[in-house]
């Protein structure tokens, strides 16, 4: 098994609205969704680190007080899995993300959150493409930067689907 890209189309606005929400029903739903992953993610950590569910709770309360960036981004991924749609990634898993670093339209770890969320020091790497970036210019850049035709076509399909649903793209590399 190797590293790969896990692409999601999601409304970043909707995602941001969950960070610090006062809506107890929304909090409860996301707690339930994330609880299913907590044991596996907690295994990644070490003694003295906050639990995954502590991080989920912080985000739901509009806080990010720890420096364990990877936990926050796995929690955000959990939120995205509930609020968005994972797109077909069979051409990108396993795959390298080397070519993506050359595409300046990506925002790294920037979902426009109302709080400062620390970056992961290793994985996951989070590439964000807001709706405004899903342009012909980006499609042209993909033609230039992504050499593998099948990967390029699949990425173009992600963009088209996000445009169709007026959503954003968030790509997790791990």
CA angle 51, 57, 63 (to 5 degrees): 105
pTM above 0.85, yes or no: yes
Say how far apart CA 48 and CA 174 lie, in whole Å.
24
Q: pLDDT tens, 4-33?
A: 999 999 999 999 999 999 999 999 999 999
Angstrom distance (rounded) from CA 121 to CA 72: 12
Question: Of 149, 130, 141, which Cα lies nearest the Cα of 102?
Answer: 141
Tens digit of each residue's pLDDT (9 = 90 or more) over 116-132: 999 999 899 999 999 99
Q: How confident is the model at residue 1 (pLDDT cuts 50, 70, 90)?
A: low
């Amino acid at each position: 098994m190797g590293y790969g890209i896990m692409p999601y189309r999601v409304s970043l606005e909707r995602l941001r609205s969950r960070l610090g929400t006062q809506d107890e029903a929304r909090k409860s739903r996301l707690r339930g969704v994330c609880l299913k992953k907590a044991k596996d993610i907690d295994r990644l950590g070490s003694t003295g680190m906050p639990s995954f569910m502590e991080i989920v709770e912080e985000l739901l309360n509009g806080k990010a007080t720890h420096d364990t960036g990877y936990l926050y981004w796995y929690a955000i991924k959990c939120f995205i899995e509930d609020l968005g749609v994972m797109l077909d990634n069979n051409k990108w898993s396993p795959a390298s993300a080397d070519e993506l670093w050359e595409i300046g339209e990506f925002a790294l770890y920037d979902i426009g959150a109302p709080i400062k969320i620390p970056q992961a020091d290793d994985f996951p790497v989070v590439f964000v493409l807001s709706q405004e970036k899903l342009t012909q210019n980006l499609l042209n850049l993909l033609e230039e930067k992504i050499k593998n035709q099948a990967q390029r076509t699949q990425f173009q399909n992600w963009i088209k689907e996000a445009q169709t649903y007026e959503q954003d793209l968030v790509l997790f590399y791990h």
